[in-house]
Amino acid sequence: MKFIKHLILALLALLLSGLQPLAARETLADGSIARIHQSELPPEARDTLRLIERGGPFPYRKDGVVFQNRERRLPAQARAYYREYTVPTPGSRDRGARRIVTGEAREYYYSADHYRSFKRIIQP
């Protein structure tokens, strides 16, 4: 009985430690950035991608400004390599937390939490 109690406590501690399934992690074990297929993005993010690919017009004044990567969540690059765009958040009275960041090599990253984490967008 004591063994079962310790086993349950150990399992509970493991669950509460914040372990997440691999698919839910933003940064993979090897340090690479998690990926998300374009079709898995919220519809507003897909709309923002289309605007980026068309060159606008963008609904927010700050869309297209340099993203400085201060948090160092994206691969290190020269200043002005990255640009950021707002992904509208339904019900939000401001720009909200969601962004798409683009790189000069036409790579795209999605952040749902205002740059705390990113997923590289895989396009068809």
Active site residues: 84, 114
Q: Is 115 helix (H, G, I), strand (E, B) or coil?
A: coil
Phi and psi torsions of 34, nearest 5°: -60, 160
> How many H helices and E strands in the chain?
2, 6
Biggest CA–CA distance in the chain, Å, is 67
Helix (H) or strand (E) holding 5: helix 2-16
Paired tokens of 79:
């200043």
In eight-state DSSP terms, residue 38 is G
State the alpha helices, DSSP H only, in 32-77.
Answer: 43-54
